[in-house]
């Protein structure tokens, strides 16, 4: 797909981060866009920023929790009606949240919500929209996995729900390559694997999981885990730990090595070049290389990710 002009794209998680930037850059290229999110204010802000700048393209907004199949079906029907079409060209399965870090310590509800958004969101949206892509003359499915789709860790800390979901997204996307070649050769597929990108995923996760306010018991567990990882927080109060967590959430976006806008450009260039595998960020490329070179060492303490990234 060398040009997005006149095409119709669906973008999940379009309220912030890479989703918002994908919507903006697609509209700039003359593509009509239907975007969904679960947070109304984020969705409205994305719409205001993009529609004002590109009034000649049709942009629609839809509240949808992609982890709920009935929401996705309603979303699909709204898109077809409001864009007056039976076909779409691009599906960006971009929505995602964190949470459910530990299979042992995290609540089942939090674990399953993270997995449902990050995996079932891709599955449900693909079930609903892919038939309309296949019915088009030219189409492409873009599924956002993560470096955690081939390395299930955050440098020694558990990341179980998110990683399990992102591994599933990666496997599903790769399996579509031959499926499309045989049954829909005019449709392409890409799996996107970003590293650390400056997005609001940590902030949005807190809003969606209502985990912004943590009990003293939860903070104490977090403190003990930090100590296990060698952090010098033994003498810090629980309120000080809360402040550390707040600062980490903010710095995840502000101090990332790549912005959401830069990431969106890499993704869209990859789609235009029909890349089935799009690594986003130098850290993603480096982690991919290291894991491939020494898979048996990937989860050993000697696999010192931060030292390796510092020496890039």
Beta strands (DSSP E) in the chain are 8-12, 32-37, 59-63, 90-93, 139-144, 187-194, 197-198, 258-259, 277-280
| Alpha-carbon dihedral 198, 23, 97, 160, rounded to 10 degrees | -80
Of these ranges, 134-138, 251-255, 304-308, the one predicted with the greatest mean pLDDT is: 134-138
More confident call, 223 vs 131: 131
Of 66-75, 240-249, 275-284, minimum mean pLDDT range: 240-249
* Residue 169 and residue 116 in contact, taking contact as beta carbons nearer than 8 Å: no
Predicted confidence at residue 213, as pLDDT, reads: 59
Mean per-residue pLDDT for 147-160? Answer: 89
Predicted confidence at residue 232, as pLDDT, reads: 78
Alpha carbon distance 248, 255 (integer Å): 10
Alpha carbon distance 298, 280 (integer Å): 20
**Other residues' Cβ atoms within 10 Å of the Cβ of residue 107:** 13
């Amino acid at each position: 797909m060398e040009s997005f002009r006149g095409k119709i794209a669906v973008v999940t998680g379009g309220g912030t981060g890479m989703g918002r930037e994908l919507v903006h850059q697609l509209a700039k290229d003359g593509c009509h866009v239907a975007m969904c999110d679960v947070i109304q204010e984020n969705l409205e802000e994305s719409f205001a920023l993009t529609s004002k700048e590109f009034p000649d393209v049709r942009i629609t907004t839809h509240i949808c929790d992609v982890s709920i199949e009935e929401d996705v079906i309603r979303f699909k029907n709204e898109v077809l009606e409001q864009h007056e079409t039976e076909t779409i060209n691009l599906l960006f399965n971009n929505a995602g949240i964190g949470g459910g870090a530990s299979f042992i310590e995290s609540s089942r509800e939090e674990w399953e919500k993270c997995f449902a958004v990050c995996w079932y969101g891709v599955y449900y949206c693909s079930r609903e929209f892919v038939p309309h892509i296949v019915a088009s003359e030219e189409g492409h499915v873009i599924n956002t996995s993560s470096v955690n789709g081939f390395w299930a860790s955050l440098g020694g800390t558990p990341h179980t729900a998110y990683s399990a979901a992102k591994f599933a997204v990666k496997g599903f996307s790769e399996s579509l390559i031959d499926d499309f070649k045989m049954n829909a050769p005019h449709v392409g597929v890409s799996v996107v694997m970003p590293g650390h990108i400056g997005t609001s995923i940590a902030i949005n996760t807190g809003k969606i999981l209502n985990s912004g306010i943590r009990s003293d018991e939860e903070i104490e567990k977090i403190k003990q885990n930090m100590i296990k990882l060698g952090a010098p927080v033994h003498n810090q109060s629980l309120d000080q730990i809360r402040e550390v967590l707040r600062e980490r959430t903010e710095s995840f976006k502000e101090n990332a090595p790549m912005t959401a806008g830069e990431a969106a450009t890499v993704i869209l260039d990859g789609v235009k070049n029909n890349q089935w595998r799009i690594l986003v960020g130098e850290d993603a490329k480096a982690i991919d290389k290291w894991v491939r070179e020494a898979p048996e060492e990937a989860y050993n303490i000697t696999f010192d990710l931060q030292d390796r990234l510092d020496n890039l």
